Amino acid sequence: MPLKPLPFPLLSPSSEAHTDSIAIGVAASARCALPFNSSIGLNPSPQLEVSAAIGSKDIAIGGEVGFDTSSSSFTKYNAGISFNKQDFSAAVLLIDKGQTVKASYGHVVNPLMGTEVTAEMTHRLSNFQNSFSLGSVHKIDSLTSMKTRFSDDGKIAISSQREWRPKSLVTFSAEYDTKAINTALLSSPDF
């Protein structure tokens, strides 16, 4: 059962209190935004989480930190920066407690047809493992879009989404694992 937020106006106008935590948020609106969120659990060993970001329509930078007071250890710390323009966007993230670097780039190929391509590369610093994926989005018409994704782990995915009523979507998706077909054939029982 999800917790229902209760207004807690004594802390700040955008505060919420749950039965086991308090979340405080501050947002400023102008040419530059500075959203800030934090939460503290209301139990004997609360978890503390803080996230903040600052940016404009072109560039944003932010981070989040989680701390477990019972073990006096950090549960998460992530940071990222993104750069956005009308026809492309790029981002670099440091995630998994600083153990993974993720870089992504998206480019609008044809704005009239709604065609975009994306690439994402992930590098794990602990074991020097790299992974990447390529994707695309194409608007077939104003109500229908088609998405594809190709990963270096041998997975190919396709998704089609149609808005059949306002704010009502129907999605069909499929994923094919090219490496799983070989293992299934090798491990199948003989008849």
Q: Which residues contact 92 (CB under 8 A, 6 or more apart)?
A: 80, 81, 82, 101, 102, 103
Residue range 119-168, pLDDT digits in tens: 999 999 999 999 999 999 999 999 999 999 999 999 999 999 999 998 89
Show which of 84, 102, 126 is a domain's final residue.
Answer: 84
Residue 112 lies in domain? 87-191
Distances from the Cα of 50 to the Cα of 43, 56, 66, angstroms: 17, 21, 7
Quick one: 120 and 55 in the same domain?
no
**Of 29, 50, 84, at which residue does a domain stop?**
84
Residue 182's pLDDT band (cuts 50, 70, 90): low
Residues 124, 106 share a domain: yes
Does residue 190 surpass a pLDDT of 70? no
- Rounded to an integer, what distance in angstroms lies between the CA atom of residue 144 and that of residue 133? 23
DSSP state of 3: P
Query: In this structure, are 43 and 102 located in the same domain?
Result: no
Same domain, yes or no: 24 and 74: yes
- Mark whether 106 and 177 lie in a shared domain: yes
One domain for residues 54 and 105: no
Tell me: do 70 and 95 sit in the same domain. Answer: no
Asked whether the predicted pLDDT for residue 38 surpasses 80, the reply is no
Q: How many domains does the chain have?
A: 2
98 lies in the same domain as 49? no
Q: Clarify whether residues 40 and 116 are in a common domain.
A: no
List, for residues 47-97, the tens digit of each pLDDT value: 888 889 999 999 999 999 998 888 889 999 999 999 999 999 999 999 999
Strand partners, 132: 121
99 and 152 inside one domain: yes
Residue where a domain terminates, one of 66, 84, 102: 84
Are 66 and 132 in a shared domain? Answer: no
Q: Which of 75, 12, 89, 77 is nearest to 47 (CA)?
A: 75
pLDDT (mean) for 172-182: 86
For residues 37 and 100, membership in a common domain is answered with: no
> Which pLDDT band, with edges at 50, 70 and 90, does 9 fall under?
very low
The pLDDT assigned to 13 comes to: 38
**In angstroms, what CA-CA distances link 77 with 63, 95, 119?**
7, 7, 24
CATH number at residue 163: 2.40.160.10
